[in-house]
């Protein structure tokens, strides 16, 4: 683990101390857990976005998106 120094406004520090006490933990652990959760959330979002952009359920588009012709070709939807 790494130790870091964080600068914050007094009101934020007061809130962090009260929140850490409410959770029966330290401010350091509280901040570390919040940052870890933010990292997991951002990683999951980026992974989901990448998968969504790569996903194609039909059509032969050359990229992650359908071409105009494929998008408006209703004959494929009727089959």
Per-residue pLDDT at 79: 53
- Rounded-to-10 torsion of CA 25, 26, 32, 33: 10
**Burial annotation 38-59 (CB, 10 A radius, 16+ → b, else e):** eeeeeeeeeeeeeeeeeeeeee
Q: What is the pLDDT of residue 69?
A: 79
Q: What is the mean pLDDT of residues 6-28?
A: 97
Question: Quick one: angle between helices 27-54 and 10-22, nearest 10?
Answer: 90
Q: What is the pLDDT of residue 70?
A: 75
Tens-place pLDDT, residues 26-74: 999 999 999 999 999 998 888 888 887 776 555 554 566 677 777 787 6
pTM of structure:
0.59
Structure token digits, residue 78: 């009727």
What is the per-residue pLDDT for 77? 59
The confidence score (pLDDT) of residue 15 equals 97
Average pLDDT for 1-28: 95
């Amino acid at each position: 683990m790494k130790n870091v120094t964080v600068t914050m406004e007094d009101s934020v520090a007061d809130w962090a101390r009260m929140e850490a006490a409410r959770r029966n933990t330290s401010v350091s652990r509280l901040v570390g857990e919040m940052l870890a959760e933010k990292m997991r959330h951002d990683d999951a979002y980026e992974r989901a976005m990448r998968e969504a952009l790569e996903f194609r359920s039909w059509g032969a588009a050359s990229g992650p998106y359908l071409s105009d012709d494929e998008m408006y070709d209703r004959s494929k939807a009727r089959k």
